[in-house]
Amino acid sequence: MKLLRFNGGRVGLVLDGTVRDITAAAGVDPAQWPPVGMVQLIASFGAKREQLLDAARRAPGLDLASVHLETPVPWPNKLIAIPVNYHAHALEMSSPAISKNGGFFVKSASSLSGASDPILLPDLPGRAVHHEAELAIIVGRRGRHVSREDALEYVFGYACLLDMTVRGKQERAIRKSYDTFTPVGPWITTADEVPDPSALRVQLWVNDESRQDAYTRDMIVDVPEIIAMCSSVVTLEPGDVIATGTAEGVGPVSVGDTVTIDISPGVGRMAVRVEQGQGGWNIAIPRDV
C-alpha cells in the first residue's frame, strides 16, 4: 500500500494510480495540532488495514498531479540520520572513520517537507547546499534493543528522502535542520511491498543531469543493522523516520533547480523544486568546541 498526506493534512491511499481520500476512515483530523494523526495511524495500522482499503476502493480517484503532496509523517518523535553509509561516498568526503564507526545523528523534525513543497535555500552567500539521496525507513512499532534478526518487523514502510545539507564546519545538526531540508515522499510504501530493502536502486538527478545512482546492497550498515544500532540507544517509536545515508555523487543545488529522486522497485519518485528562502546562520564555529 502507498499511504500519503495531501491537501492540508488529509490522508490518502494510492489505488490504480489515483489518490483515494481515506481521512475519515483513518480517523485523522486534518486540523489537529500537533499533527500526530499519521503517527497514531501507523501505530494502529495493522488492525485498520482492511477497513482502509475498503474506504479507498469506495472513494473517487483524484489525479496525483492535482493534489499537494505533504510530508507523510509531519510530527515524528524522532528524525534520525545515518552519516556516510556507502564506501564510495566515504572516499569522496574523505571520512573513512565515520563509515567505519557507524553511529547516527539527529536532524530537527521540523526540517521535514513533502514532495510538492519547495526546498528553500537559506541566504548564505558562499555556502554550498548539497543534495543527498537516501532511502527513508518509517518505523512501525515501538522497539528498544531490537536484534538484527527481528529488525525488519519494526519497519512500517519506506520512502524517498532528501537529506539537504549546507557544507561547512558547523555542527551537522544546524547545517541539516533548515526548514524544508528533509523532503520525504511522495508517499510511504508499506514494507510488504518492499520485501528486500537491500535490493533497491537509489537515483538522483538535478534537472536532467544524473548525479547519484547507487544500490542499497552497497550500504556499509544495512537496514536491519541500522534498526539494531539505533534501538540500542533510543526507543524507536511508530512514525520515527530514519534517513539511511547517502551514496557518492553529492553536489550543489541552486535556485531554480529541480531535484528528482527515484527509488525502485516500488518505493517511488518525487521531483522537488529549489527556491530562495530567507536568513540562515553563517558564523563558522569549529566542530570540536
Positions in the binding site for Mn ion (CB under 5 A): 132, 163, 246
Nearer to Mn ion, 212 or 246 (CB): 246
The nearest distance, CB 201 to Mn ion, in angstroms, is 18
Nearer to Mn ion, 132 or 222 (CB): 132
Q: Smallest distance from the beta carbon of 107 to Mn ion, in angstroms?
A: 9
CB of 131 to Mn ion, least distance (A): 10
Give the DSSP letter string of 213-228.
EEEGGGBSS-HHHHHH
Distance in Å, CB of 46 to Mn ion, minimum: 30
Task: Return the number of the residue (190 or 246) whose C-beta is nearest Mn ion.
Answer: 246
Cell of 263: 527509488
Report the distance separating Cα 81 and Cα 83, nearest Å. 6
Closest residue (Cβ) to Mn ion? 163
Q: Which is nearest to 240 in space by CA: 173, 132, 154, 145?
A: 154
> What DSSP element (H or E) covers 230?
helix 223-231
Phi, psi of 181 (to 5 degrees): -85, 5
Cβ-based nearer residue to Mn ion, 53 or 93: 93
Q: Report the candidate in 10, 16, 109, 24 with the shortest Cα–Cα distance to residue 68.
A: 10
Task: Find the angle CA(43)-CA(45)-CA(47) to the nearest 5 degrees.
Answer: 115
The smaller minimum CB distance to Mn ion, of residues 11 and 98, is found at 98
Q: Which is nearer to Mn ion, 49 or 167 (CB)?
A: 167
Interatomic CA distance for residues 84 and 95, integer angstroms: 8
Closest separation in Å from C-beta 59 to Mn ion = 36
Centroid of chain to Cα 225:
18
- DSSP 8-state code for residue 168: S
Q: Which is nearer to Mn ion, 21 or 222 (CB)?
A: 222
CB 69, min distance to Mn ion, A: 22
Min dist. Cβ of residue 63 to Mn ion (A)? 33
C-alpha cell at 194: 518492499
Taking phi first (over 0 means left), then psi (-120 to 50 degrees means alpha), and beta for anything else, what does residue 110 get? alpha
